[in-house]
Each structure stands twice: as C-alpha cells, then as structure tokens.
Structure 1
Amino acid sequence: MQTALAALLSAALVASHSTALTAADADSGDKWVQLTPAGTFSGRNGQGPWVTGDKASMEQIVANSRQYAGSTDLAIDYDHQAVFGAIPGVGGKAPAAGWIKELKVQNDGIYGRVEWTKGAAIAIKRKEYRYLSPVFFHEKTTGRVLAIRMAGLTNTPNLDLVAVAASALFPLDNPTGDSMDKILTALGLAKGTTEDGIVAAINAHLISSTAIAKAAGLTETAKPAEILTAINSIVADRTRLATAAGLTADAKADDIVTAVQSAIAGKVDPTKFVPIAIVTDLQGDLKKLREDLTADKATEAVNSAIEAGKIAPAQKDWALGYAKADLKAFDTFVGNAPVMTASQIRTAKKPDGENAELSDSDLAVCNAMGLDPKKFAETLKFNKETA
C-alpha cells in the first residue's frame, strides 16, 4: 500500500490553506493547532474548493498522512522554503520552524500537535509571522484532500503551489505521471478505476495470497518469496512423481495416483507378501490350535489329579474349567492338595424321594467333610425357601 499511496499522491496537486496564529499558540509546550477545517472550504484568495469531508474521511486523511511521513515528523518551515528548495535551480536554506508531532480529528477539522523551535516561538509572539499555511495533496477534479504534506509559517498564506513538481516529493522512475496506470495494469484493472476499486483489488490479492500460503503448508503471514519457494518445491515434487510413474510432467494428479498404485500392485513379490485375508484365516486357525492344546493339557492334568486322589471324580467339571483358565495355578493347587481317602473319593448315593436334589459336586463335598447327604439336602432346601 505504501507504493500505491505514493503513486496516488504523486499524481495529486499540492495546495495550501492558512490558519491565523496568536501569541498563545507559541507559548511553552506543545500546542494543538488547526491544520484544515472540516467539510468543504476555499482559500483566502478564492482557491478551491477543497474537501476534507466528514470525520471518517478526515480519519483517512490522517492515516494517509502518517503513512506518508513514516517514522519522521511533518516539518513546519518558513515561507514554504522547504517546498521551493526542492525545485532545481532555486536552492536556498529551509530551517525548521517546528514539527508536527501528532495528528488528530475533531468535529471542526484536522489538528496537529506542534512543537515550535525557540526562534519560531519568538517570531510568533512578536507577530513577525501570523499565519500557518499547511500544504496538502488533493485531487485536481474533485478537490478531495488526500494527505497533509507539511506546513509553513508565512505572512502570504494560500500560496499557489501547483507548479511544485510532485516528483520532487515522491521520486519516480517515470516522471510523466503514468505510475498509477502501471499499478492498475499490475492489478488487472482498467484505467480510471477509483481508489475504492484499487483497494478492493489489493484486498482480493491479499486474501488469495493467504489462501495459497495455507495450501502450501505455510502460515498466513508467509512472505511472497516463501510462498513462491514452497509452490516451486511442490511443482518439482509433482513433476518427479509423474516422471517416475511413466507420465508426462503435465499429467493430472488423478492420473499420477492411478499410475503409482498400478506400479506398486504390479511389483508385489508373492514370496514376501500374502493377502490380508489369508493372514486373518491363519490367525484364527492359530488361536483355535492354542485353545485345543490348552484343553488337552487341562484334561490331562485333571485326569492325573483324579488318579492321584487329589480331587474327586465329581469335581472333574470344576477342575477342567479351572485348568483351562489357568493351568499353572491349577497345578499349584493340586500340588498343595492332600490325597483324599477312599470314602472321600467315592461318590455318595443320592438320597431317594424329595431330597434327591444334590449334585455330584454336593455329594463330593458331603464325602470330603463327612456330612449326611440327606441332612445336607434339607439344609439346602431350607436355605432356598427362606432366601
């Protein structure tokens, strides 16, 4: 935008307006002095009209002025010597009378916070200088004020500064004034496009640049050179992939993907790779084999424990479940269990009648603990009924 602003101002005319000063304006300390009025105004000698517009328009003028000044203060000279000194062949000194340190907008116009030099403050108090004549850029046809250039202490305000070469303020490669046309061409705009159209085009380019940066895997604040490097790298990688797949450099992305997939599929070594379905089936078979082997070992361990008299035959189902779940723990249990007596191992006869509800495991418990199966059955029945 700095280049666009410079080109826009370089094509503008320079004019001045005057503000009367009093001794109070030169008192010690910085003073706020009106530089331009609000709305539409003309010079003391009838020049103009010039337009600063409403508050929003004046805020834009202040913003343009700050951007034009950059890190420097706007100068106040004597009798516009700084401006005339810019014309080849005129020369002359241009000492500063003061500096505009800050700009602000009020309802009645644009004001500058001025820091006077000691000599200028004395001259104003003595009424040796009575007027402050700010210099501003404006459009020739509409008179719209664009930016404040500087100001001068003068007794002949409202000077016609149109003859001052704009290129003396903004050095250009082309002094004929067609820089704006170059900007419009670079933005793809037609000659005569308004400032709003230029701003809209620049914003559109900024948005596009941000989107491209994101797509290239960069941050939104990536510089154009970084974006260009990333894109060139992506294009180079894409070209190498296309060439490796046997395609031309301008092949479409889908064609490159298809070619690469086909190439990979055609080069699979069947001695090193097997289909996933076969692997899944093998995993299932291996799991079943392990389960069968575990069941066989559990059955063998239970049968051995029964033969050794460590568990009763009636406990076989329980023992098989235990051994299948944790064979090592079952072996430890059997190793610590005492050898059962013959009466404990023998399966008791189930009682007749209504008490014949004991399972083999119940009978094994009765045998192991020397309990009467009939009474044990009655106890179980009673517990069920009272539960």
Structure 2
Amino acid sequence: MQKALAALLSAALVASHSTVLAPPDADGEKWVQLVPAGTFSGRAGGGPWTTGDKAAMETIVANTRQYAGSTDLVIDYDHQAVFGAVPGVGGTAKAAGWIKELQARDDGIWGRVEWTAAASAAIKAGEYRYLSPVFYHDKSTGRVLAIRMAGLTNTPNLDLVAVAASALLPNNNPTGDNMDKILSALGLAKGTNEDGVVAAINAHLTSSTAIAKAAGLTEAAKGEEILAAVNSLVTDRTKFAKAAGLAETAKADDIVTAVQSAFAGAKPDPTKFVPIEQVTALQNDVKEMQKTLIGDKAEEAVNTAIKDGKLAPALKDWGLDLYKTDPKKFETFTGSAPVLTKTQLLTPNKTGAAGEALTEAQLAVCSQLGIKPEDMKKTLADQAKA
C-alpha cells in the first residue's frame, strides 16, 4: 500500500467511464458507480486501465481513503476543479456533491454521494446526466491506484480532462511552485528528485503507522483517529505530571522518575512493620499457648476442688469443661459448694442410668447451678459411655 501511495506523485490523472445518473433519493443521497471492475478504456481511446478483481478494488478503496484522509472526495461541475488549475481556462469549481463512502463491489467501485441542493435539482431536471471520475493510475501498467474525484458532465471527454490533469503533474514530474509546495510540506530541499520525494512519503507513512501502533490503534487508522488517540495520551500525561508535582510540560522521562521516586518513598520501614504472615503465625502461637495455659489451670483448680471435698471425683470432666468455659463460674460454684462427706466422695454414681438416684453431691451441684436432675443423669450417662 505504501508503494502505491508513494507512486501517486508520479501517476497520471485520467477521467473516463461516464456513469448515467439516476435522480437522487428523497434525502439527497445516491450510490453511483465510479469505476468498473476489470479492464476498461476511455471514449477517446485512452487506456486500457484496470481495477482488477474485488480484492484489488478493495486495495484501491483503501488507497483512496488514505489519500483523502479526513476529507471527502468532491464531485464538481464539468471538471472545473481540474480545469481551474489550467492558466487561461479558469472555473468556479463549485461542489455538486461529496462522496461520503466507498464500496468495492463485484461490478466495480461505488460511492455514496451526498448531493448539494443545486446539483440534486439539476439532475432531477435533466440538466446533468453523467458522472465522470478522475483517478490516479500507473502509467506503465494502466493499473488504477486511487480515485481522486468525479465530475458532473454531459460530454465526458477523456482528452480534455487528461490535458487539464497534465497541468497539475506535467510530464509526471511536478516542478515549479507546485513541486516546491510538495517539497516544503515534506520538509525537503528544493531540487529534490522524485526518488527523494517517494522516500520521504514512505517514511511519513511508516511514521504514521508507528504512531498509530503506539497509540493502540491499527495500521489502517485514519489521521483523525490517530490525532484523537494522541491528544488523549497527551491529556493523560498532563494528569500524571500534575499528580507527580511537575509542570504540565514535563517530559515523559521526568514523570517516570518522579513516579518511581514516589513509590520508593512509599515503601514501609522494616523496623516499624512486620509481614502479615509472621503476625498470623504469632497469633496462632499465642492461641495455642492460651489453650495450654488454661488447660493447666483448669486441671489444677479441679484437682484442688476434689481434694478439698468441693467436687465429686465423678464430676472431674464436667468441672474441667466448666472451668475452661467460664473460670469465674467454676470458682463461684466451688466457693459455695458444701464439703462432701467421705461416703459421698467414695461412692459416686458414675452410671447415671435411668431410675438410679443421684448422690447428695450431685444433687448439690444441680442445686447450685440450676441444673435439672434428669439433665445431670443424662450427662453422667454420656460420660460413662464415653
């Protein structure tokens, strides 16, 4: 594609293949055929030119879009946009319509035209009937490269348009003011030859592609899309610069350095902070130590209560559970429990089977803790089974 676009400067401009126009739609728009598919010649014997198959025409459409950029292709009256460039001929070059969209179809390349009110009225009135395109082509092969424009005309004439086109690109090698403008736009010195111009155009296209990729776009992105993406990136960079405490015009390297410095300053002081994994492990160790400690205290307290006659030996497991659950409640119970007799301590009811009476010590526990005797019997029975 880049070689094709670069060849535009050395290609000839031609107009041919007049298209019979139908009246515009109610909204002033109409699809018109701009060039046919395959090989064709002009009325005055020019050509042959070729647009190739549908895939080749897709390339022509892509070249045309890249060539036109963000501007629409113009349709003028009687090729005045071309004749106006010829000294002594002149012309107003008013627009009759604008080509808003291109499509490669099986029978050729078509364009969706938005007609002006005047052109629409003229076509409906029969004042204009034909459409004649102007396109770039490779002079040696006749291969169509891109479409430049089209004109409303009643006498499409290949020779006249070809002469007018030669005034723009005489001998296929622009010179004089036009060439100077091209060289200036490309940043080249006066007198640069065609090879230098082609190389500059290719470099420009390569740069545009690189910018599009850097902006997160596809290689085929249009100029306005690239501009919008770059403007967005510049806006974001300005925000980053402000956030980093720098001027809006700060360079990217300065912004990166400032952000890296801010991150480095935000690192925690290892003397003041402990990794969360170590904190979690320490908490688990403390919990285990607490369990061990309270278990030891429960064993000591229950053994003391049994020794002092405050708790029957058969209730040891129950006493351990109570202490581990609520030490104060256990201490309250043992503090207010009567001292058991020797008989009560030596003959406890360990089975708690249905129908068996509880001992006085067990009844005393029920009374102190508000436990129903049947619940106590069930507990003792469960312990015996265990």
Deviation of the 1:342 alpha carbon: 2.4
* Structure 1 partner of 2:22: 25
Deviation track 1:225-273 (CA, whole Å, cap 9, x = no partner) reads 57988862575359969xx9xxxxxxxxxxxxxxxx9xx9xx987xx89
- Residue 308 to residue 5, structure 1, CA distance change in 2 (3 Å): farther
What are the residue-to-residue correspondences of 1:66-105 with 2, within 5 Å?
Answer: 66=65, 68-69=67-68, 73-87=72-86, 90-100=89-99, 102-105=101-104
Give the superposed CA RMSD.
Answer: 5.4
Q: Which amino acid aligns with 1:75?
A: V
State the alpha-carbon separation in 2 of the partners of residues 341 and 317 from structure 1. Answer: 18
Checking the alignment, whether the CA contact within 8 Å between 1:313 and 1:345 is kept in structure 2 is no
Deviation track 1:62-102 (CA, whole Å, cap 9, x = no partner) reads 34445555665533333311112135665332234455455
* 1:182 to 2:181 alignment: no
What are the residue-to-residue correspondences of 1:150-169 with 2, within 5 Å?
Answer: 150-152=149-151, 153-158=153-158, 159-160=161-162, 161-165=164-168
Q: Which moved more, 1:225-234 or 1:78-87?
A: 225-234
State the alpha-carbon separation in 2 of the partners of residues 324 and 301 from structure 1. Answer: 11
- Residue 179 to residue 294, structure 1, CA distance change in 2 (3 Å): same
- Secondary structure of the structure 1 residue equivalent to 2:346: coil
Q: Which amino acid aligns with 1:148?
A: I
Unmatched runs of 5 consecutive residues or more in structure 2: 218-228, 241-251, 363-376
What are the residue-to-residue correspondences of 1:250-269 with 2, within 5 Å?
Answer: none
- Residue 147 to residue 38, structure 1, CA distance change in 2 (3 Å): same
Unmatched runs of 5 consecutive residues or more in structure 1: 188-197, 212-220, 245-260, 349-358
* Structure 1 partner of 2:311: 311
Q: Which moved more, 1:93-102 or 1:280-289?
A: 280-289
- Secondary structure of the structure 2 residue equivalent to 1:346: helix
- Residue 310 to residue 58, structure 1, CA distance change in 2 (3 Å): same
* Structure 2 partner of 1:302: 302
What are the residue-to-residue correspondences of 1:173-252 with 2, within 5 Å?
Answer: 173-174=185-186, 178-185=196-203, 207=213, 210=216, 225=234, 232-233=253-254, 236=257
* Structure 1 partner of 2:367: none
* Structure 1 partner of 2:36: 37
Percentage identity across paired residues of the two chains: 45
State the alpha-carbon separation in 2 of the partners of residues 72 and 186 from structure 1. Answer: 19
* Structure 2 partner of 1:108: 107
Deviation of the 1:181 alpha carbon: 0.7
Checking the alignment, whether the CA contact within 8 Å between 2:24 and 2:120 is kept in structure 1 is no
TM-score, scaled relative to structure 2: 0.58
* 1:56 to 2:74 alignment: no
State the alpha-carbon separation in 2 of the partners of residues 225 and 4 from structure 1. Answer: 31
Checking the alignment, whether the CA contact within 8 Å between 1:309 and 1:345 is kept in structure 2 is no
- Secondary structure of the structure 2 residue equivalent to 1:53: coil
State the alpha-carbon separation in 1 of the partners of residues 233 and 180 from structure 2. Answer: 26
Checking the alignment, whether the CA contact within 8 Å between 2:349 and 2:359 is kept in structure 1 is no
* Structure 2 partner of 1:368: 359
- Residue 204 to residue 42, structure 1, CA distance change in 2 (3 Å): same
Q: Which amino acid aligns with 1:53?
A: G
Deviation track 1:270-315 (CA, whole Å, cap 9, x = no partner) reads xx89999x99998898667645653454245325544664421343
Q: Which amino acid aligns with 1:163?
A: S
Report the count of equivalent residues: 312
- Secondary structure of the structure 2 residue equivalent to 1:44: coil
Deviation track 1:164-219 (CA, whole Å, cap 9, x = no partner) reads 426869963258654431243467xxxxxxxxxx6xx97677556659xxxxxxxx
Deviation of the 1:157 alpha carbon: 1.3
* 1:137 to 2:170 alignment: no
- Residue 171 to residue 225, structure 1, CA distance change in 2 (3 Å): farther
Checking the alignment, whether the CA contact within 8 Å between 1:132 and 1:157 is kept in structure 2 is no
State the alpha-carbon separation in 1 of the partners of residues 283 and 32 from structure 2. Answer: 90
State the alpha-carbon separation in 2 of the partners of residues 346 and 123 from structure 1. Answer: 128
State the alpha-carbon separation in 2 of the partners of residues 100 and 281 from structure 1. Answer: 73
- Secondary structure of the structure 1 residue equivalent to 2:131: strand
State the alpha-carbon separation in 1 of the partners of residues 101 and 213 from structure 2. Answer: 32
Deviation of the 1:132 alpha carbon: 2.9
* Structure 1 partner of 2:121: 118
- Residue 274 to residue 366, structure 1, CA distance change in 2 (3 Å): same
